[in-house]
């Protein structure tokens, strides 16, 4: 609950926050600016108006590392809940961008002190940041300090600075501190729980990009298969195969809604479609589904495999979109000829962090070289960026609580990625649900999108768990309205339970479903 500030605050000027110290760092510059009755607009968020807050911006360096990192902390100056919220990033961006600022504005409007960061990386304006301008010090030499800042160190730095600013401005530290992020932000949340277990009381880690060093190579596998086949299917072929899988498995839950509720129960064989007709706007005249298209889709669903045909990592579920700007089997077609269009996140990971040479021609990669790159990714980056340490007992002992949700139709990070981690954490500590709970959302894409529901109330459920001790057994996922304005509400079940239709009732409301 928010409440008006009654005690006078210190002025929002740089001197209020002067003489701060951060172990291992040196402050370069600090500025404090008061915003009064501010109106702010950011992508994916409504327009915020009437905001009053003190914006504290700080630049600092880790001496000897030749880096410059930036942190912003927004301190509400009229209504404050005595709580702090850290806002995560996306892609290769740590968070100091428009999407993160939208999260900051939302947090401040609800009375939270808010913090976000850039981890010292340039070009944070867009969430689609790529690492070309910072990954390599020179060909063959990765900037490991920069990757370490993104991976972990900056998270601790920003949080400690924010808590110091909160204490100076309000006269006391925040009573509760929360982290809120999805994708990269979800990975950041897991890293905080693993490496800095006492910094946050509650962590919301959506669709976490943990095991980045494995899925980023695994997600490249469909492109690799196309290169091996020297065939690049039309997007319409790939989409026809995905549609056929949905049609075959959609009704297994008793509801026809375009969503595969239980991917493990879907055993559709795409090989049966080879030679079948497909309606294609990409080509003139009739077209048939090719064997190459089936093999590429199988690579998306089955995940990466090595030269011995042994599994390297997981694939996506069968209703995940796999064509489009971020699809794992995207091709670009002109005048009847299609070419590869690999996922940018994966392409840059292989070029800059594994081959360490942006000029390398990945289209000529052999199976042996692909296997070598996967091995290099695991060996060189697990500790610095893998974020998959399953031992969360220190987070448990600090009293922290964490919630993860993940869409089963995620187009980028395999949901099995998160399930694998949670199972490993459970093996370490059978009491895991006492402090960490996982929810899967059928039909939800990567953080949002798709036909399934996003759990907009997840953060409130986390706060209730932290402050009142009431752990959530379900979250309610609400979909984006379709062209007819129809919205689906479904219960997202506490893993390992699954969503089940009760057999009767309105399929658009959560009450018609149970968790079993």
Residues with catalytic roles? 183, 410, 446
Q: How far is CA 461 from the centre of its chain?
A: 19
Cα–Cα distance list, 443 to 264, 317, 455, 460, 489 (Å) = 14, 10, 12, 22, 12
For 143, the 3-state DSSP assignment is coil
C-alpha to C-alpha distance for 488 and 509, rounded to whole angstroms: 6
Sequence-ordered strand ranges (E) for 233-314: 277-278, 287-288
Q: Answer yes or no: are the C-beta atoms of 437 and 471 closer than 8 Å.
A: yes
Q: Answer yes or no: are the C-beta atoms of 409 and 442 closer than 8 Å.
A: yes
For 126, the 3-state DSSP assignment is coil
Buried b (16+ CB within 10 A) or exposed e, 220-245: bbbbbbbbebebbbbbbbbbbbbebb
- State both tokens at 149: 């800042």
Q: Answer yes or no: are the C-beta atoms of 110 and 117 closer than 8 Å.
A: no
Backbone angles phi and psi of 357, in degrees to 5? -150, 105
Query: HEC profile for 465-483?
Result: HHHHCCCCCEEEEECCCCC
Q: Answer yes or no: are the C-beta atoms of 367 and 228 closer than 8 Å.
A: yes
C-alpha to C-alpha distance for 208 and 180, rounded to whole angstroms: 11
Sign of CA dihedral 132, 136, 137, 143: positive
C-alpha to C-alpha distance for 167 and 163, rounded to whole angstroms: 6
DSSP string covering 440-460 = EETTB-SSS-BSS-B-TTHHH
Query: Which of 121, 340, 359 is closest to 221 using CA atoms?
Result: 340
C-alpha to C-alpha distance for 83 and 379, rounded to whole angstroms: 39
Widest pairwise Cα distance in the chain: 75
Query: Which of 280, 214, 68 is closest to 154 using CA atoms?
Result: 68
Backbone angles phi and psi of 219, in degrees to 5? -65, -20
């Amino acid at each position: 609950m928010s409440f008006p500030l009654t005690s006078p605050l210190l002025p929002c000027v740089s001197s209020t926050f002067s003489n701060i110290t951060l172990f291992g760092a040196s402050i370069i510059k600090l500025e404090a600016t008061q915003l009064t009755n501010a109106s702010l607009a950011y992508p994916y968020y409504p327009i915020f108006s009437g905001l009053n807050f003190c914006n504290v911006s700080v630049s600092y360096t880790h001496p000897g590392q030749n880096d410059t990192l930036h942190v912003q902390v927004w301190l509400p100056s009229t209504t404050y809940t005595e709580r702090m919220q850290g806002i995560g990033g996306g892609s290769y961006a740590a968070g100091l961008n428009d999407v993160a600022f939208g999260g900051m504005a939302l947090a401040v409007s609800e009375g939270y002190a808010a913090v976000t960061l850039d981890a010292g990386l340039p070009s944070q304006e867009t969430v689609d940041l790529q690492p070309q301008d910072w990954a390599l010090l020179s060909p063959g030499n990765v900037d490991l300090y920069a990757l370490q800042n993104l991976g972990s160190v900056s998270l601790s730095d920003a949080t400690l600075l924010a808590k110091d600013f909160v204490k100076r401005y309000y006269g006391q530290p925040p009573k509760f501190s929360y982290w809120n992020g999805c994708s990269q932000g979800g990975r950041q949340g897991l890293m905080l729980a693993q490496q800095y277990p006492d910094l946050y009381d509650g962590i919301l880690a959506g669709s976490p990009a943990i095991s980045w060093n494995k899925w980023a190579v695994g997600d490249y596998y469909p492109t690799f298969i196309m290169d091996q086949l020297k065939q690049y299917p039309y997007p319409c072929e790939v989409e026809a195969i995905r549609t056929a899988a949905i049609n075959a498995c959609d009704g297994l839950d008793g509801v026809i809604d375009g969503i595969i509720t239980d991917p493990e129960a879907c055993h559709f064989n795409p090989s049966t479609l080879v030679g079948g007709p497909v309606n294609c706007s990409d080509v003139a005249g009739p077209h048939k589904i090719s064997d190459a298209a089936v093999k590429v889709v199988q690579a998306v669903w089955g995940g990466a495999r090595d030269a011995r045909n042994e599994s390297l990592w997981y694939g996506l579920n069968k209703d995940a979109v796999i064509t489009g700007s971020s699809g794992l089997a995207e091709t670009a077609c002109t005048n009847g000829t299609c070419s590869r269009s690999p996922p940018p996140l994966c392409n840059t990971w292989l070029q800059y962090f594994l081959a360490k040479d942006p000029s390398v021609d990945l289209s000529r990669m052999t199976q042996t070289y692909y296997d070598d790159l996967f091995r290099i990714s695991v060996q060189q980056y697990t500790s610095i960026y893998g974020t998959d340490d399953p031992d969360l007992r220190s987070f448990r002992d600090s009293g922290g609580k964490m919630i993860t949700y993940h869409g089963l139709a995620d187009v980028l990070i395999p949901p099995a990625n998160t399930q694998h981690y949670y199972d490993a954490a459970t093996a370490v500590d059978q009491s895991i649900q006492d402090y960490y709970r996982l929810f899967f959302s059928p039909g939800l894409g990567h953080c949002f999108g798709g036909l399934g529901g996003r759990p907009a109330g997840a953060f409130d459920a986390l706060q209730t768990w932290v402050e009142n001790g009431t752990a959530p057994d379900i979250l309610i996922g609400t979909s984006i309205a379709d062209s007819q304005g129809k919205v689906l509400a479904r219960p997202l079940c506490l893993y390992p339970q699954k969503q089940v239709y009760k057999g009767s009732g309105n399929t658009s409301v959560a009450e018609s479903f149970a968790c079993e």
